[in-house]
Amino acid sequence: MTIITVDVHSRDCVKVFADKKVSDANSFEWLKQFKFFYNDKKCFARITDWKTDYCYEYIGNGGGLVITPLTDRCYITLSQALNLTMGGAPAGPAGTGKTETCKDMGHALGLPVMVYNCSEQQSNESMAQTFMGLS
């Protein structure tokens, strides 16, 4: 199912390339695609001007999300935040896929992702317990 999802997205990307007559590897239409490269016995991921090593954390063989133009924009935004050594905190209405998109990007990069939803009931003691458990 994941292969079909990626193939459908790739087909849509190629159609956009053809419609916009993209022929340059430095075109933003090409650079904004999340791509993987293998060089010098290392795998790395690239999107826009951000490049990172693949982290090889096996998180399981789960199904992938449907890749929409909004997913692409979220990946670009999150990767640029990581490029600036910052994190991402997507905001918006419930049920729109913010958490799943972050987890899916982490899964694609081989990174463990911890999603933490804060509430008013959180205290410094409960946060300390969470971080002690992680360490």
Q: What CATH number has the domain bearing residue 15? A: 1.20.58
Domain that holds residue 10: 2-134
Q: pTM score, two decimals?
A: 0.78
Residue reference for tokens 């449907």: 66
Chain segment 1-46, per-residue pLDDT in tens: 778 888 998 999 999 999 999 999 899 999 999 899 998 889 999 9
Instruction: Answer yes or no: is pLDDT of 49 > 80.
Output: yes
pLDDT of res. 86: 87
Rg (CA), the chain: 17
Taking all residues of the chain, what is their mean pLDDT, rounded to a whole number? 86
* Domains held by the chain: number: 1
pLDDT of res. 37: 92
The answer to whether residues 53 and 44 touch, using CB atoms and an 8 Å cutoff, is yes
pLDDT of res. 61: 72
The vertex-42 CA angle with 79 and 23, nearest 5°, equals: 60
